[in-house]
Amino acid sequence: MFKWFDERLDLIKFKEKFLSKTFPTHPTFLIGEIALFSFIILVVTGVFLGLLYEPSTKTVSLFGATVPAAYASVVKIDLMSMGMLVRRIHHWSAMIMIAAVLVHLMRVYFTSAYRNPREVNWFVGLGLFGISLFAAFTGYLLPYSNFSVTATSIGYYIAKSVPWIGNWISRLLFAGDFPSAATVPRFFFLHVMFIPVLLMVLIGLHMVILVKQKHTEPSSNGGRPEAQNGKRLIGIPIWPEQAFISIAFFFFLLFVIALIATYIPLNPIETYGPPSPGTPVMRPDWYFLVVYGFLKLIPGDLSFSIFGGKITPETIGGVVFPTFLILVFLLVPLIDRSKEPQHYIVSPLRRPFMTSFGITGGVFLTMLVVSGYIDVLHIEPKTMLMYVVLATVMAAVVSYALLRLYNKKREG
């Protein structure tokens, strides 16, 4: 059988060129595999859920109550044997995938693995992170519960607040005014077809570039950037060693996700109920709390116009601020660039400015997550803003000073 396929597909040549390539043995490279395997679990569980889900807001009867069809179909999935477990696995896989992509980007940043010639893969990784967030956002609405509609409405008003073209963007994304009968089918198409295809394309591109450029290596020179020949690769062949390790790791990850899904409920729509007026305050999941917390710090009466375009708190917190963050991330490999190809990992301790910048940014974003709970913490927005600024400045000064001191002592 192998000979038959080899004559037609040239499998021996494929094995020699691809399957014999070296895969890094450093454990941090498994973070990327966590993201990839989580995506695979998402696709498999998504197919199961998609076959049973009804993307419609028409009203149907459910246990004597009149509810939207989308909500009723999800409740019926939860009542099925294994249905609720599969839905929880789908949700937790999404959580873990986004977290894994974020941690993977952090690893690349703090080890300077984004520099020449790997700038393109840094941009691809940012694209994967952004589209993963968009996938999570479109999935928010599909259960069409009280929580789903409330959380999605925040995104609607943010899209509508874009100066000059806000109405056009909101109507394009939400299929008219929100909520409308066409919004759920639009989000269903984006969530199960359009976005997964984009993710598959970017994942494939990321892997092709990685195979072409090879991975960065732990430096044999104590983290010094001078050791740059790129000829020595530390690792094991993709086949069969790494393949079996990856298969075992996939089932281990599936076991962990299934264990979490069994004991920790997530998005219990039966508790939230269908959409209703007078919705209480509901916070988005952790990956959107940065924007949500920033919105909490902006005065609600802040509003002005520029060239006919209206600037509102939603514009500043939901449009300007995320755009600024995206630009900062995109500029990282252009600011900290290298003329010569860099093939070895540089210790974060030897890069005071960039490491301090990353730590400061992490503290700032973490404080914004905390800001999303100011109503629970009973802290005034002005006071919380002072805490955010103080923590950010302290993180910058202390981290940079300690790193500079470390490098002076090491050099001395």
Domain ranges of the chain: 25-267+281-288
Tokens of 264: 């920790």
Give the distance, in angstroms, between the CA of residue 151 and the centroid of all CA atoms in the same chain. Answer: 17
- Return all residues near 154 (Cβ < 8 A) that are at least 6 apart: 284, 292, 318
Q: Give yes or no for residue 236 having a pLDDT over 90.
A: no
Q: Output phi, psi for 66, to 5 deg.
A: -95, 115
Q: Give yes or no for residue 26 having a pLDDT over 50.
A: yes
Q: Higher-confidence residue: 281 or 31?
A: 31
Range name among 23-27, 70-74, 165-169, 395-399 with the lowest pLDDT average: 23-27
Max mean pLDDT among 95-109, 211-225, 238-252 falls in 95-109
Q: Is 145 exposed, middle or buried (0-12, 13-18, 19+ CB in 10 A)?
A: buried
Per-chain mean pLDDT for the chain? 90
Kindly indicate the confidence band of residue 280, based on its pLDDT and cuts at 50, 70 and 90.
Answer: low
C-alpha closest to that of 123 among 349, 353, 335, 333: 333
The secondary structure of residue 342, as a DSSP letter, is -
Query: What's the CA gap between 11 and 9, in Å, rounded?
Result: 5
Q: What confidence score (pLDDT) does residue 155 get?
A: 94
Kindly indicate the confidence band of residue 226, based on its pLDDT and cuts at 50, 70 and 90.
Answer: very low
Amino acid (one-letter) located at 344: Y
Q: Give yes or no for residue 227 having a pLDDT over 70.
A: no
Q: Higher-confidence residue: 177 or 215?
A: 177
Kindly indicate the confidence band of residue 326, based on its pLDDT and cuts at 50, 70 and 90.
Answer: very high
Query: What's the CA gap between 130 and 284, in Å, rounded?
Result: 16
* Rounded percentage of the chain residues whose pLDDT exceeds 70: 95
User: Which pairing describes strands 344-345 and 217-218: parallel, antiparallel, or unpaired?
Assistant: parallel
Count of other CB atoms within 10 angstroms of residue 348:
18
The mean pLDDT value for 348-368 works out to: 96
The secondary structure of residue 27, as a DSSP letter, is G
Query: What's the CA gap between 182 and 170, in Å, rounded?
Result: 13
* Rounded percentage of the chain residues whose pLDDT exceeds 90: 70
Which helix (H) or strand (E) covers residue 22, if one does? strand 22-23
Whole-angstrom CA distances from 50 to 171, 250, 386 are 25, 23, 46
Query: What's the CA gap between 323 and 75, in Å, rounded?
Result: 37
Count of other CB atoms within 10 angstroms of residue 214:
16
Tokens of 317: 């917190």
Domain covering 25-267+281-288, topology: Cytochrome Bc1 Complex; Chain C (1.20.810)
Give the distance, in angstroms, between the CA of residue 34 and the centroid of all CA atoms in the same chain. Answer: 13
C-alpha closest to that of 191 among 134, 146, 145, 144: 134
Q: Dmax of the chain from CA atoms?
A: 79
Kindly indicate the confidence band of residue 271, based on its pLDDT and cuts at 50, 70 and 90.
Answer: confident
Kindly indicate the confidence band of residue 341, based on its pLDDT and cuts at 50, 70 and 90.
Answer: confident
SS3 81: coil
**pTM summary value:** 0.92
Kindly indicate the confidence band of residue 57, based on its pLDDT and cuts at 50, 70 and 90.
Answer: very high
Look at phi and psi of residue 167 and say left if phi exceeds 0, alpha if psi is from -120 to 50, else beta.
alpha
Q: What confidence score (pLDDT) does residue 12 get?
A: 79
Query: What's the CA gap between 210 and 206, in Å, rounded?
Result: 6
Query: What's the CA gap between 396 and 43, in Å, rounded?
Result: 41
Q: What confidence score (pLDDT) does residue 204 get?
A: 95
Kindly indicate the confidence band of residue 40, based on its pLDDT and cuts at 50, 70 and 90.
Answer: very high
Range name among 15-29, 76-90, 150-164, 219-233 with the lowest pLDDT average: 219-233
Q: Give yes or no for residue 134 having a pLDDT over 90.
A: yes
Range name among 181-195, 223-237, 311-325 with the lowest pLDDT average: 223-237
> CA geometry: angle at 364 spanning 363 and 369, to 5°?
95
The mean pLDDT value for 272-298 works out to: 86
Q: Output phi, psi for 309, to 5 deg.
A: -95, 130
